[in-house]
Structure 1
Amino acid sequence: MKFKHFATSPVLENRAFMALLLAVSAAFLWILLPFGGAVFWGAVIAIVFTPVHTRLLRRWPRRRTLAALATLGIVVLMGVLPLALLTGTLVREGAALYQRVQSGETNFARYFEQVVTVLPGWAHGLLEQFGLTDFNELQSRIADAVGRGSQAIATYAYSMGQNALDFVVGFFVMLYLAFFLLRDGAALSRRIRAAVPLAPAHRRHLAEKFITVIRATVKGNILVAATQGALGGLAFWFFDIKGALLWAVLMGFLSLLPAIGAGLIWLPVAVYFLVTGAVWQGVVLIAYGVLVIGLVDNLLRPLLVGKDTQMPDYLVLISTIGGMAVFGINGFVIGPVIAAMFMVAWDLFASAREEAAEDAARDAAQEPVQEAAPGATRPPEA
């Protein structure tokens, strides 16, 4: 009899349903793993370009499909085609740099040796401890590192060609998912919010923060990286530094890291100019790097990223670096999103505890005084 009662109890049904829900959710994520990057960027594209889609819907209120297709066309023209052209050019620049290093035309060890010769004695001792005074060995290490980097770029490009089917399928999945998320994203978002077992106010706050952080991170970081990379590449082209486009791409990539970013590239070049007698070039490059390239990071990033996400710069930096270490290039979006969700979740938890404490204090203050028993006499008034 007890077993029959247990077998038909609502508790068992709820637990079984939750187990089924978790199992099918895990299985669904498992089958999405081969195209995880495509699915992720499809969702990011839909979130970032939803305002554009909304404006198009105002012009074509009854043509959701046409508005979604037009938005997708804007995405391809603004992002996909320039990125494809840049990747091809970057592969050629990397191969050219590798050839210059192998032929000795570009000798990083010689450049480093010229800098070391003007350093004070204590700096020489410090470099000896790290084994950086054997310039021949250093050149071989640099050549090997450049070779591995160039080989990695070429291998990646070659693998894309060899695995063209996987690349095309992933690209199609990304655009296909972005199209349907743009067209039906509002209804899907309502369904997801309704399914999340949280209070309506908490669901709304978390969803708004999630969307805000993704838009601010993607738009802000990409705009800052593109601007700093272009400005740095322009400076290198002006000073006739070979491989300016390659260095511009590296500066743009490093600009994803707040505060330190592009300075890892242009500052050593400026120091080299100073110690080799090209004083005005070094001074101009330092002034340009600090006042122009650095100003972009100091002005645009807080305005585009920190202001919308309401996250301090140090947290943006740590979460970006940590995210890229764990998730690769996708981490520059995933890291800040996780950090923002962490802040919001704990803020909601603290607010809920404060409200509960205030409600308890209010209930205790408003608790009625126990009435006297019937027939009891009141104490005489003074």
Structure 2
Amino acid sequence: MPSSVKIESRHWVLIAALALAAYASYQLIAPYLGPIVMAFIISLLFYPIHCRISHRLPTLPNLSAVLSCTLLTFMIVIPLLVVFSSIIHQGSTFSRDSYNWLTTGGVKEVLGHPYVVKLMALFDKYLPFEPLDAQEIVRKIAATASKFGAQLLNTSAKLLGDATNFLINFMLMLFVLFFLLRDHDRIVATIRHVLPLSRSQEDAVLNEVEQVAKSAVLGSFLTALAQGAAGGFAMWLAGFPGLFWGSMMAFASLIPVVGTALIWIPATLYLLLVGQWEWALFLAIWCAVVVGSIDNFLRPMLMQGSSGMSTLLIFFSIIGGLNVFGLIGLIYGPIIFAITLVLFKLYEVEFKDFLRHQDEH
């Protein structure tokens, strides 16, 4: 008995030391966790293609991984550069036209519109604020327009910094991806070896992580892409720069609750103010029905995975992940919820006799 107690104490010391070392290691890699997780997700999505490449080069694992990373780079970077340059061109053109409109009396024309005059009169009558002064509004907008150029310079500098950070993170992601693809089988075998679970339980956890990681990417980013494409097409038909505003709608779709309405509602109001009520009606109906249905049906369908998470859980996993982790939380949140559900199912199976006894008494 004393020897068994001694062994048990030694084990607890080892577990505590391992936990402390793991926490310290996490602190070291925490600043780079985003690229590491993205490399893990992309390795799951890209692994079938890598298998075909490595099958043709069975004795050259390093070359196979390099070719896979190179192929992935061309698949991601070149389309992004083309789209990004088009967005910058359309965005700069739109910004210049907006600035010219602001400085050539466009605001006065809008404020003099009969609908706007009636709306301001209702505000003055029913809202407990100071009466709205059209001249004061024009003055403030003109002051804002005078600062527009400086803000454009700051935005350009920020975009340049973001592009630099993206390039650094992308290179780090590729570096991690190389080892994940090359040593895939060894990594999976190591994870299975250290997990204190049975083989069936390991299969359940690992399969669920893989499934939900894939569905999180598909659910979030493919839905955003589909909404951006559908919304950008409608904006282009209505006379707006389609690629620019479609991209803005794709980013806005990642915001829970409001989503693409942040873009198309102001656009619809603008079309009403300039007298294009037919296009305003088309844009409102298209975005509310078509773009909205993409988010309501495509995202839950792609993100349910094998765990069968309900739409309510998916919703809270997304907004919770965004709140805690930022944009990468779109992936972290569903994975955390899915692992929790799988562990809960394993708990039910492992303690089914105890739970049945509790129910009977």
Q: TM-score range by the shorter chain?
A: 0.7 to 0.9
* Residue ranges of structure 1 left out of the alignment (5+ in a row): 363-382
Distance, in Å, in 1 between the alignment partners of 2:121 and 2:349 is: 58
The question of 1:45 aligning with 2:47 is answered: no
- CA RMSD in angstroms, aligned pairs only: 3.9
Q: Give the deviation of 1:251 after TM superposition.
A: 0.4
The C-alpha deviation readout for 1:236-282, integer Å capped at 9, x for no partner, is 222222x4433211100122246642233113322443465322112
SS of 1:240 mapped into structure 2: coil
Distance 1:132 1:319, change over 3 A: farther
Residues 130 and 253 (structure 1), Cα distance of their counterparts in 2 relative to 1, 3 Å cut: farther
CA-CA distance at 1:144 after TM superposition = 9.8
1:176 paired with 2:184, answer no
Question: How far 1:316 moved relative to its partner?
Answer: 2.1
Q: Which amino acid aligns with 2:214?
A: R
Report the Cα distance in structure 2 between the residues aligned to 1:186 and 1:125, rounded to whole angstroms: 71
Q: Which moved more, 1:253-262 or 1:331-340?
A: 253-262
The equivalent residue for 1:366 is none
Provide the secondary structure at the position in 1 that maps to 2:351. Answer: helix
Equivalence for 1:231:
230
Change (3 A) 1:33 1:108: farther
1:312 is the counterpart of 2:315: no
Alignment partners' CA distance in 1, 2:130 and 2:217? 38
The letter of the residue matching 2:170 is F
Is the Cα–Cα contact under 8 Å of residues 232 and 243 in structure 2 kept in the other structure?
Answer: yes
Which one-letter code corresponds to 1:159 in the other structure? G
Asked whether the 8 Å contact 1:95–1:150 carries over to 2, the reply is: no
Q: Distance in 2 between matches of 1:131 and 1:188?
A: 68
Distance 2:246 2:229 in 1: 6
How many equivalent residue pairs?
A: 354
How far does the alpha carbon of each residue in 1:49-102 deviate from its partner, in whole angstroms, 9 at most, with x for none? 123223444555555444433432332222233224434444455555554454
Q: Cα offset for 1:215?
A: 0.4
Q: Does residue 283 in structure 1 map to residue 285 in structure 2?
A: no
Deviates more, 1:268-277 or 1:26-35: 268-277
Match of 1:158 among 160, 172, 175: 160
AA matched with 2:231: G
Q: What is the CA deviation profile of residues 168-211 of structure 1, one whole-angstrom value per residue up to 9, with x for unaligned ones?
A: 55432210111210121222022112212234333321211111
Residue identity opposite 2:249 in structure 1: M
Query: Which residue of 80, 85, 105 maps to 2:77?
Result: 80
The corresponding residue for 1:11 is: 8
Cα deviation 1:133-167 (Å, max 9, x = unaligned):
87448747986998898566423333357xx5x76
User: C-alpha displacement at 1:213, in angstroms?
Assistant: 0.9
| 1:39 Cα deviation from its structure 2 partner | 1.6
Structure 1 match to 2:344: 346
Give, in whole Å, the separation in 2 of the partners of 1:47 and 1:308.
16
Aligned equivalents of 1:188, 1:131: Cα separation in 2: 68
Query: Matches of residues 15-94 of structure 1 in structure 2 within 5 Å?
Result: 15-58=12-55, 63-94=60-91
Distance 1:123 1:140 in 2: 22
Quickly say closer, same or farther: Cα 1:201–1:283, change in 2 above 3 A. same
> In structure 1, how many angstroms separate the alpha carbons of the residues matched to 2:13 and 2:204?
30
Deviation per residue, 1:307-347 (Å, 9 max, x gap):
55522223323322222232222121112222222333333
Contact 2:35 2:169 in 1 (8 A): yes
Q: Which runs of 5+ in 2 are unaligned?
A: none
SS of the equivalent of 2:27 reads helix
Q: Shift of residue 291 of structure 1? A: 3.9
Q: Give the conservation status (yes or no) of the 8 Å contact 1:46–1:178.
A: yes
